[in-house]
Amino acid sequence: MKPIPDIELLQRLKSDEPDAFRLLFDTYWERLYQVAYQKLRSEEDAKDIVQNSLIRIWQRKNTLDIKVSLEAYLTSVVRYEILSFIAASIKTKEKQEQIARHVLPDFVQLVDSLQVKELHQHLDKLVQQLPEKMRRVYLLSRNDDLSISEISHSLQLSEQTVRNQLNTALARIKAGLVEFMLLLLVSQYLQCPVPLFCLLMIS
């Protein structure tokens, strides 16, 4: 089927033509899905993002005032939905773990020197928030490079207690760093070149 010009498609949307949403879907679904999947690495989440984005457009079809190409506008809507999704995921442990596995590895490559400094500062803060005994075990292991046996002897604790304390410390620190990096990731999205008026119109 021959592609429909953006102006005609927008006019059909605003005129509530029965096939308008299907045309919008068929024309842009795959391209928008690739944008979402590239960021989230999850087929299910990418599909939800695109569906929500297209529904937003449909719901606001009568008030749309697009100054760029329709594809560029739709892409900005998808990026905003991704931003909202990631922000919400910070509060959900399951989604935190999913994003940590599939999104953060690519994101880490883009972290600049200032953000690295912030990460180190946040790590120090997380360590200081550990209970005293747990913090001492962690620091002896990571800073002084002592073995479980050496820490056990130094602190007069059983080796199993040292293992438990160290494992708990590492789990807490990892969770704190993942949440912090997700916040950095959100800030990266906020800096993407999406016109502010677009974000306001779809919020």
Q: Please state, for a pLDDT cut of 90, what percent of the chain lies above it.
A: 28
Q: Which of 56, 62, 58 is closest to 78 using CA atoms?
A: 56
The better pLDDT of the pair 190, 144 is held by 144
Q: Which CATH class is domain 6-89?
A: mainly alpha
pLDDT tens digits, one per residue of 162-200: 999 999 999 888 878 777 776 666 665 545 443 333 333
pLDDT at position 190, please?
47
Q: In terms of residues, how long is the chain?
A: 203
| Side chain identity at residue 166, one-letter code | L
Task: Tell me the two tokens of residue 82.
Answer: 């991704």
pLDDT at position 146, please?
93
pLDDT at position 93, please?
62
Q: Are 10 and 66 in contact (CB under 8 A)?
A: yes
Task: Tell me the two tokens of residue 84.
Answer: 């909202």
Q: Please indicate whether the domains covering 6-89 and 106-185 agree at the CATH topology level.
A: no
**How many Å apart are CA 196 and CA 98, to the nearest integer?**
29
| Side chain identity at residue 55, one-letter code | I
Range in 5-14, 22-31, 148-157, 173-182 the model is least confident about: 173-182
pLDDT at position 72, please?
86
**How many Å apart are CA 178 and CA 97, to the nearest integer?**
8
**How many Å apart are CA 96 and CA 190, to the nearest integer?**
19
pLDDT at position 149, please?
94
Residue extents of the structural domains in the chain: 6-89, 106-185
pTM to 2 decimal places: 0.50
Q: Which of 77, 50, 179 is closest to 125 using CA atoms?
A: 179
Place of tokens 């984005």: 53
The CA radius of gyration of the chain, in Å to the nearest whole number, is: 24
- Residues 181, 182, 187, 191, CA torsion sign: positive
* Confidence at 104, pLDDT banded by 50, 70, 90: low
CATH topology of domain 106-185: Arc Repressor Mutant, subunit A (1.10.10)
Residue 15 backbone phi and psi in degrees, to 5: -90, 0
* Confidence at 98, pLDDT banded by 50, 70, 90: low
**How many Å apart are CA 102 and CA 185, to the nearest integer?**
13
